[in-house]
Amino acid sequence: MKRIFRNSWLEVRPFEKDLPTDQFYIRLCNRLKELCYRNTGLVSEFKELEENDYEVLSCMAAAYFEDVVTGTGVFQTFVRICRKKCGKTLPFFHMEEYDEYLEDDINEPDLEFLIWYYMSLRFDYAVLPNDPCIATMAGIFFEELDAQWDYAPENQQLRDFFTFKGDPNDYFAVRTYMQKIFFSNYLTAPDASLTLDDEMQLAIDTLAEQNADPAAAQALLSGRYDDLSYEIRSCLWGTTMTEWALAYVEDDSEIARNILTISPKLTGYFEITNETDKHYLLSRISDHTEYRVLKKSLEPNTVKAGDFIQIALIRWRGDWHWSGSLGLLPSITEENIKEDRQLTEEQQEFLHKDYWKIAREHIEKQHDTFLRLFKKDLIFGTKAQILQNYREFLTECGDDTAVLQRLEQETKTLDNDALLFYDEREGANLSFGCNEAFCSVPCLRPKARLDAFEHILFNPDCRIGLLEQAVKEYVPQDEPLLDMIMEMFREDFDFLAAFYKTDDILRRPDVTVAGL
């Protein structure tokens, strides 16, 4: 067994700095890993885990322990979100099966969840939270952490890192704090921070391929980072940076009240028509809407009246602030006006007072058409049959069939089975190669049935509505593993839907609503 060294421990901590407490927690990481390896039954049964997995899990358990001992409140933030979302302390675990849940102490179910969480990120199959190996490892961790409770040092530097000490009225100070507590903790970092890193690397590579001017590239990357900070969702309940921050800080604090004033981001093309001591007056080039933007939010950038700019704005405590992209334009072209008009329409569409009412009426009308044609919400067949059914539906609704022609090209190499279903939130959807997940007659290929369900689970083209249908329509057929997975989803569907399909949790109608 290899020892765990400083670098591995620092990967679960939000900053790289040698601290007096490191020696204790690195020793603890090694002790936890060693105890797992001493349990030969665990190692032999937990065949999926490699040595690096034991190392990461030991470090995560130690980071959880340091969090609770120091009182930084990272795991308790997740608990508060769970109680708000589903009324339970944790997904999967009913606390009446355990001793009383201790708010300011370590709890064995917390460790079980942490292990499930890591494994679910690590492996491309549905992990059962009641796997006996998870309970065994959590028990090993809990016993050792409990024994070390009286000796564990608090980490004052860690507490300081997660404590806001700036001006709660300063948007940029609050935004930086929100970024720290969301992207730099051991719990949300494994997915949210990794996504942020990947997206930023993609942006860097794209700009490098374009041989972008260094100064312009730096501005674009800064804007992209700001955009991603607000857009990225953790797979833990699909929380955004803003939602996590609101759960982390005290509800009645000034910082919480100010966070609640943050508006959706607005991006567009503007002319700076005037300026005062404190504000720039911006006029949107497509509709001449005026915005008063705080000058200090644009420092140290130098702009002046008469300049044309592309900028991202956020409203905070009643004032507009620059937050994200900023580009100086030599002039305004017809193409700029066209693009700005499109941006304006997209940003205003979902704010339109009648949008959701019209969208709901439209989707209900399409649903009536679907039922009139096919008599039920979910139909199965060969790929050719289902594509023809979809063509009938599009034609009946008067929709463009170009999407179908593209699908026919894209699915040439896919398996020869398909389904068409109507979801009340998402409209009509097609999926290929997963019909066996809905098998209602004796299934001759249980493994294929499990594979089909996991295809629905992990394929981003299979939306939440189809996952919900698969769970709802499932007929048990002496398949213990799939039965247990379905029971898990029936118990905690909302959490698992957000976990596996984080980008799909808003579930807005995927129908075209004309006339707005």
Nearest to 284 by CA among 313, 316, 261: 313
Residue 483 contacts residue 476 (beta carbons within 8 Å)? yes
Q: Cis peptide leading into 480, omega within 30 of 0?
A: no
What local confidence, expressed as pLDDT, does residue 507 receive? 58
CA dist 285 and 175 (Å) reads: 28
Q: pLDDT tens-digit profile of 345-397?
A: 777 665 555 666 777 788 888 999 999 999 999 999 998 899 899 989 988 88
Please tell me the predicted confidence (pLDDT) of residue 512. Answer: 38
What per-residue confidence (pLDDT) applies to 303? 87
pLDDT at 516: 30
Q: Is there a contact between 463 and 504 (Cβ–Cβ < 8 Å)?
A: yes
SS3 letters for 189-245?
HHHHHHHHHHHHHHHHHHHHHCCCCHHHHHHHHHHHHHHHHHHCECCCCCCEHHHHH
Q: Which residue has the tokens 């961790």?
A: 141
Alpha-carbon distance 23 to 6, whole Å? 9
Based on C-alpha coordinates, what's the Rg of the chain?
26
Q: Which domains does the chain have, with CATH numbers?
A: 6-159 (no CATH), 164-259 (no CATH), 266-349 (2.40.50.140), 355-504 (no CATH)
Predicted pLDDT of residue 350: 55
pTM for this model (two decimals)? 0.91
Cβ-based neighbours of 119, under 8 Å, separated by 6 or more: 48, 49, 127, 134
Amino acid 214: pLDDT: 86
At 180-197, the pLDDT tens digits run 999 999 999 999 999 999
- Please report how many Cα atoms fall inside a 13 Å half-sphere around the Cα of residue 116, on the Cβ side: 22
In the numeric block, the tokens 């720290």 are attached to 180
* Residue stretches of the chain with pLDDT short of 70: 94-99, 348-356, 506-516
CB 42 within 8 A of CB 36: yes
Q: For residue range 416-453, list pLDDT tens digits in order.
A: 889 999 987 778 888 888 999 998 887 888 888 999 99
